Amino acid sequence: MAAQTTLPPAAADTPPGRPAARTRRGRGEHHEVRLFSGLGQVALAVWAVIVIVPILWTFLAAFKNTSEIFSSPWTLPAELRWENFGRAWTKAHVGRYFLNSVFVVSCSTFGTMLLGSMAAYVLARYKFRGNRAIYYLFVSGLAFPVFLALVPLFFVVRNLGLLDTHTGVILVYIAYSLPFTIFFLAAFFRTLPNSVAEAGMIDGCSHTRLFFQVMLPMAKPGLISVAIFNIIGQWAQYQLPLVLLSNAKDKWVLTQGIADISVNAGYEADWSGLFAALTIAILPMIIVYAIFQRQIQSGLTSGAVK
């Protein structure tokens, strides 16, 4: 009697060709993923070249003289001319503008983070009438272009007696940085566990103490991320100080000073000093981002992880 082979129930019920079709479909999806991954890597490489090459060219031009910049722009400098930085720091007053920028950005970032974190915490953790309306009012500021408010902003600051003062610029920086800060931190505060806040209230913490001693340290990754973004954005701001500090040259910030150097460079031919000033303006932000890169990444992803 011939031996009979029996198929497993699962194999017997499966129509012929179905496993092969699934295999082919899986291979096709795998090829699509690899294709899109390769295209993404190419796009990132192109973007990196577009960003890095001008920065490197600026750094190299800072060590050249004017003839080298125009005759051999893509070659290394014949020698490192550190006097370009000294001339930009003293003669072009970049040192004074740099210190003004440090003062303005430090004060405005501190005010933005203090007020923004407090507002975001209340809007995220407390329920009261008008909560969502206030939140959406803050967030709507993200869609409002700065240049549309320059003229009325000029008259408002002038009527307050703060025109051509660092105080006026700091307050305006804080006002324009609050929408993004509140939008980001409110979402971050919602991810913090309620059990910790409840335990603090049971132990006798007031709302103020609970915020500053318990919840604020827990939100440190998000605070660092938002603070770095605010520092970079306020450091590179040009339109607002141009309108609010137009008649006080001794209080200009770094972007105004570099713009003034670029105008004078066309007459004095001091292009090496201009690129040295640009290097002085760019390097601090690169250093800040390099130091806090991990904190920024953890702050951006911790909310999703929780």
Q: Residues 278, 265: contact at Cβ < 8 Å?
A: no
Q: State how far the Cα of 257 lies from the Cα of 260, in Å rounded to an integer.
A: 5
Position 67 scores a pLDDT of 86
Q: Residues 151, 239: contact at Cβ < 8 Å?
A: no
Position 11 scores a pLDDT of 47
- In sequence order, the 6+-apart residues with CB closer than 8 A to the CB of 93 are 257
Position 1 scores a pLDDT of 45
Cα of 303 vs its chain's centroid, Å: 17
pLDDT over 90 (residue 98):
yes
Residue-range domain boundaries for the chain: 91-305
Task: Enter the CATH code of domain 91-305.
Answer: 1.10.3720.10
Q: State how far the Cα of 58 lies from the Cα of 281, in Å rounded to an integer.
A: 11
Position 15 scores a pLDDT of 54
pLDDT over 90 (residue 206):
no
Q: State how far the Cα of 11 lies from the Cα of 18, in Å rounded to an integer.
A: 11
Q: Using a pLDDT cut of 70, give the percent of the chain over it.
A: 85
Place of tokens 């009697």: 1
Per mean pLDDT, which range of 3-7, 83-87, 120-124, 271-275 is the poorest?
A: 3-7
Q: Which residue has the higher pLDDT, 103 or 66?
A: 103
Q: Residues 113, 223: contact at Cβ < 8 Å?
A: yes
pLDDT over 60 (residue 6):
no
pLDDT over 70 (residue 16):
no
